[in-house]
Amino acid sequence: MLTAKQHELIRFIQTRLEETGISPSFEEMKEALDLKSKSGVHRLISALEERGFIRRLPNRARALEVLKTPEEAVSSPRARNAAAANAPSAANDTVGAATAARTPEPANDVLEIPLHGRIAAGAPIEAIEGQSSLPVPAALLGPGDHYALEVSGDSMIEAGIFDGDFALIRRTDTARDGEIVVALVDNEEATLKFLRREGGRVRLDPANASYEAQIYNPAQVQVQGKLAGLLRRYH
């Protein structure tokens, strides 16, 4: 069951694809749905993507494909199966024909995501407080809810993460071994490290030979997100 805004957005995308062969920009979708920010559009697109109504085409700017409409979702199983088999092909034909006729515009949509202060890439620092926002190119963010942290320290330099970088974090409370996570230690200190589990313990590994791994009991460590991307300023 879609919300009114989700239904309105998928209709708008479908209409624009039929008219021009190119999906609308985030700015156009924001204005069409009368939303206050592009982050609202991002959340709607992520929700539609998770429900299988649309998908983002990789390595292409402003490329969304409608996999099914709300009407197809509530039709009979036989109709749903037929729609699922035919819709991607038809949509690909439409997008493919339009692509041959015109060059996609550069992806310049920008989202405002929360910036929650600084995160230690060294020894843990006090739990992050305060909030502002950071403009981020939408192309750097995939599905899910995101926030940003400014990196403080040099313990992750061998992973290409430097002091002053902005770490783009996807909110989650789970992660696989070897992923770079935001870990809250003892409900007081936050740090950015590789997560590993061994012998019933949690190890937070740096990416700098000058630092030692931090080892904790599982109850001491809470995953608050995992690294999705980086932004770097050059002065």
The answer to whether residues 124 and 198 belong to one domain is yes
Specify the pLDDT at position 72: 67
Specify the pLDDT at position 73: 56
Backbone angles phi, psi at 208, to 5 degrees: -160, 120
Q: Where in the sequence is the domain holding 10, given as residue range(s)? A: 4-101
Find the catalytic residue in 39, 155, 210, 226. 155
- Does residue 191 contact residue 140 with C-beta atoms inside 8 Å? no
- Bridge partners for 225 per DSSP: 182
The CATH number of whichever domain residue 144 belongs to comes to 2.10.109.10
Rounded Cα–Cα distance for residues 45 and 42 (Å): 5
Determine whether 132 is an active site residue: no
The CATH number of whichever domain residue 61 belongs to comes to 1.10.10.10
The answer to whether residues 86 and 145 belong to one domain is no
Helix or strand or coil: residue 75?
coil
Find the catalytic residue in 23, 193, 210, 226. 193
Q: Which residues of the chain have pLDDT under 70?
A: 1, 58-62, 71-108, 120-131, 235
For 29, 56, 57, the CA distances from 24, given in Å and listed in that order, are 6, 12, 14
Domain boundary among 101, 121, 139: 101
Predicted TM-score (pTM) of this structure: 0.53
Q: Count structural domains, the chain.
A: 2
User: 62's torsion region: left (phi>0), alpha (psi -120 to 50) or beta?
Assistant: left
Determine whether 38 is an active site residue: no
The answer to whether residues 95 and 135 belong to one domain is no
Specify the pLDDT at position 21: 75
